[in-house]
């Protein structure tokens, strides 16, 4: 057999072998990788007082950094900006109730408390945010009457374990450091509007990842952060 003929036979054999090669079915590694990444558990990132003029940028930053959060919206702003409520849902966030006008609820009558909560439920639903199951009283102020009214609307009251102090002018560094104090199941208070909070988002994602924590949803049953 000539050298040229031998090369031709070898090439044909290689082609046939390639044609017979069966690619092993691929298995999804997403679940194991996610479990490993979230080995230390889940925390609840919460943002109060939206939607606002900064909501779009906040949602963009959260999505870009692979974070999900619970948005405690004021009813008056949800009613005025329904498209932003829908944007929150589209971005994968969870929408919750933060009263209609952000009053000191413990100073109001039961009827007034009812109005604050019920109107917000309706405003968020009308805007496409679904029916909230979580409620955060303004300033974290609550009492038996507030809890009773919230419960009547199927709402679980959610306060927080860590206050970022972003509402009080906390620096970006301080906000990131407050996130670093979170442990499995805990919830941090942040707000929709501070520029330093927006600037902190990439570092918040890095901080959680470095500690094996993931941003989760808040369970209406336990009031703690759990896997989405």
Q: Which sequence positions are flagged as catalytic?
A: 48, 191
- State the Rg of the chain over Cα: 25
Residues 98, 124: Cα–Cα separation, whole Å: 11
Residues 118, 227: Cα–Cα separation, whole Å: 28
Enumerate the H helices of 75-190 as residue ranges.
75-80, 82-90, 110-126, 144-152, 172-179
Residues 154, 147: Cα–Cα separation, whole Å: 11
């Amino acid at each position: 057999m000539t050298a040229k003929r031998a090369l031709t036979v070898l090439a044909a054999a290689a082609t046939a072998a390639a044609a017979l090669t069966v690619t092993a079915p691929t298995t999804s590694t997403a679940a194991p990788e996610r479990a490993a990444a979230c080995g230390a558990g889940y925390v609840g990132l919460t943002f109060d007082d939206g939607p606002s003029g900064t909501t779009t940028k906040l949602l963009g930053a959260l999505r870009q950094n692979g974070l999900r959060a619970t948005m405690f919206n004021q009813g008056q702003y949800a009613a005025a900006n329904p498209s932003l409520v829908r944007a929150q849902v589209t971005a994968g966030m969870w929408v919750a109730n933060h009263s209609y006008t952000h009053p000191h609820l413990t100073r109001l009558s039961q009827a007034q408390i009812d109005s604050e909560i019920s109107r917000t439920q309706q405003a968020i639903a009308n805007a496409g945010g679904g029916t909230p199951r979580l409620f955060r009283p303004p300033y974290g102020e609550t009492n038996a009457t507030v809890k009773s009214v919230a419960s009547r609307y199927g709402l679980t009251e959610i306060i927080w374990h860590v206050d970022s102090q972003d509402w009080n002018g906390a620096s970006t560094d301080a906000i990131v450091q407050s996130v670093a104090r979170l442990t499995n199941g805990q919830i941090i208070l942040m707000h929709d509007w501070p520029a330093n909070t927006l600037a902190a988002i990439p570092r918040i994602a890095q901080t959680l990842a470095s500690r094996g924590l993931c941003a989760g949803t808040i369970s209406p049953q336990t009031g703690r952060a759990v896997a989405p």
